[in-house]
Each structure stands twice: as structure tokens, then as C-alpha cells.
Amino acid sequence: MSTIFNKKSVYFGVIWSSYYALGGVDLYDGNYGTIRYWAAVLLNVVVTLGFPLMLFMAMFSFELPLDNLINFNISLTSVSASVKFVIFVIQLKKIVEIEQRVAQLDRRADTHEQRSYKAEMVRKLVMVSTVYKYIYGCCVVTSSVSFLFYKERSLPFPAWFPTDWTTSLTSYIIAVSHQILSIVVQVLQNFVDDLFPPMIFVIIVGQCELLIQRLSSIGYDQSDQRANEWKLIECIRDHQKIFELHDLTMEVISWPLLVQFVVISIDVGTALCALIFYAENMNEKVYFSSFIFALGMQIFPICYFGTMVEYSFGRLHYAVYSSNWVDQSMSYRKSVLIFVERTRRLPKQMAGNFVPIALTTFLANCKAAYSFCTLLADSGSK
């Protein structure tokens, strides 16, 4: 059993279950003497490494432009899924540390109001994960069964395969089985890698809101001034812990998100071009429409919650003044002034130290996708 896999995770149970199923936990642990480790190695060699390689080996080798666009689209998506998965697996220990820091902050929720808000935050996390499950489940279905509607023998995705599957039924069954396995595994990789950033941002927003409640309530009960000074000090420590939690989170998600932003703008542009100019039957139109929607949903939640994180940290500045600081001691008021200056510094939220994680980036991605679509259309018309 893994040393880091946490079956009793309060927030990230679905995350750990997914990494465990994908072999990521076993690869991180590196228990070379176990069957699970070598099964994880085999699965990731066949899928994480093998599937993108097979797609790239057939790049732009098809007669139909639509097949070339599908191959290019899936190749890029597959490579990005593999790259993000590897980056996350390397940093699984940091996800454990993130959980530990969140648990420390959770223990500070000591009133009925704060516990109720924390329960609401858990419900929001369940809702986010449920939405992602349905979206990625639809992706598996639309990607895995589309080839069944073609009259001629075909694969789910146009790709190279080492045997001639067009004439051999056995080779065809092996090729189809490999692609369906690869689709399921890579969709699950995308699911877990894309779910973690919005989930942890929801948690950070929740911890900021809980801190706002604690700050704004200081001085309104029957506590003496010395007790209120201690409450303020504890809130200052909480603020530092939330900032450190955010910094640790950015270490984990920064580069995967940069890969995601760049790849999705290209993928959406390619899929949009295929949908408008090359898709002829309803099956192809449904596939590309659902593909574009799924890609958009990969980045919209993280951009939205990234904006919410910045907004929540900004509210801390005003929460300090919402406390009854006027009636407190000189020491308390001096600490308030220092703390207010600290809350003016907002966390740095950049994907790869280059792209802001905010709703403005989602709009920029849409514009970049449209530009790439027009570029492909112009190239195809010449």
C-alpha cells in the first residue's frame, strides 16, 4: 500500500482514487518489488507514452483534411495530457502537504457559522467534481463510439499501428482495444489534472472567507482587550498560512496550466475549423461540438475561481477594519495597521510565470482559438 495514498481524504478523495487507478501513486512510491508498480509502468508506457507516439507517427499522412485535423487535434491533446500527468505525479508529495495545511486551517473553524460555511464549501466541491465527472464521461463516450458509425472499418482516431488492422480482424481488435484503453486512461488523466486546480482554489477562497468571518467578529463579544489582541495575532498567522498554501498550490499547478492554456487555444481553433469547413454528417458535428465544449470547460472554472481567489484576498483588507478596532488597545491598533499593509499584497497567480489565471485569460484563449481557426482556413483555401 502506498505511503502517500489517503483513502480518508476530506476534500481530495476523488483525486487520490484517480491517481491510484492511473498508477501515478505507485510510480511516485517506486516500490520496484511490487506487481502494482510494474503494472503502472506497463500502463503508462502503453498509454501515456505509446498513444501520443502512435498519433504523431501518422501526422498529416491522411488523404482527407478532416482526418489530418482530427489526428493533429488528438495528438496535441494526448501529448498535453501526458505532460500534465507526469508533472503532477512528480509533485504528489506537495499535494499531501497541501492537504495537511488545509487541515490545519480547518481546525480554526470553531463557531457554528464557520462550520456551516465549511459544510457549504464541501458541497460546492462535490458539485464541481460531479460536473467534471459528467463532462469527461461524455468525452469518453463520444470519443470511443464514433468509429462505429462509419461504413468501412476504422479506428476511433486516425493513428499509426504496427500491424495491418485493415485486413486482419485480430489486429483490428487489438488496435481498437488499445485506442479505447488509451482514450479512457487519458480522459481520466485530464479529469484528475484539470479537477485539482479549481478544487484547491475553491478551498483557498473558502479559507479566506472563514478568515474574514474571524477578523470581522473581533471586539464585538465580551472578550477583554488582551484576548482580542491574541485573536488578531491568530488571524495574522492564519493569513500567513493561507498565503503559504497558495504559494505551494502555484508550485504544483503553474506549469500544467500554462501547457493547458496554450494547447487548448490551438485545439479549439483546430476543432472549430473542422466543425465549420469539413464536418459533413451529424456524428462528426456532434463530436467536434462536444469536444469544443469540453475544452472550454477545462479552463473556464479555473479562470473563474482564480479571479475569485484574488477577490477574496482583496476582501481581507476591508475585513480588518470591520472589527471593533476603535475600542481596542494601542497595541491592537498598531497590529491592525501593520496587518492592513500586509493584506494589500495580493498573491501572484501566473501560469508558468507568464499567463494570468483569471477570466481575462479565458477570453484571450477564445480570441487565440478564433485566430488559429482563421489561419487554418486561410491556409486550406490556398
pLDDT score at 4: 54
* pTM for this model (two decimals): 0.91
Torsion of CA 291, 293, 294, 298, to 10 degrees: 140
Of 16, 20, 22, the C-alpha closest to 185 is 22
pLDDT score at 1: 43
pLDDT score at 247: 94
Taking each helix axis from N to C end, the angle separating 282-322 and 169-216, rounded to the nearest 10 degrees, works out to 20
Report the run of H or E that residue 351 belongs to, with start and end: strand 350-351
Is residue 196's pLDDT more than 70? yes
The grid coordinates of residue 299 equal: 479552463
What's the length of the chain?
382
Is residue 200's pLDDT more than 80? yes
As a whole number, mean pLDDT of residues 313-327 equals: 87
pLDDT score at 192: 93
pLDDT tens figures, 327-338:
888 888 888 888
Share of the chain above pLDDT 70, in %: 95
Is residue 127's pLDDT more than 60? yes
pLDDT band of residue 211 (cuts 50, 70, 90) is very high
pLDDT band of residue 136 (cuts 50, 70, 90) is confident
> Domain boundaries in the chain?
60-131+191-380
pLDDT band of residue 244 (cuts 50, 70, 90) is very high
pLDDT score at 345: 86
Q: Which residues contact 251 (CB under 8 A, 6 or more apart)?
A: 91, 94
Mean pLDDT lowest for which of 178-187, 261-270, 285-294?
A: 285-294
Is residue 299's pLDDT more than 80? yes
As a whole number, mean pLDDT of residues 137-164 equals: 77
How many CB atoms are closer than 10 A to CB 324?
14
pLDDT score at 304: 94
Is residue 349's pLDDT more than 80? yes
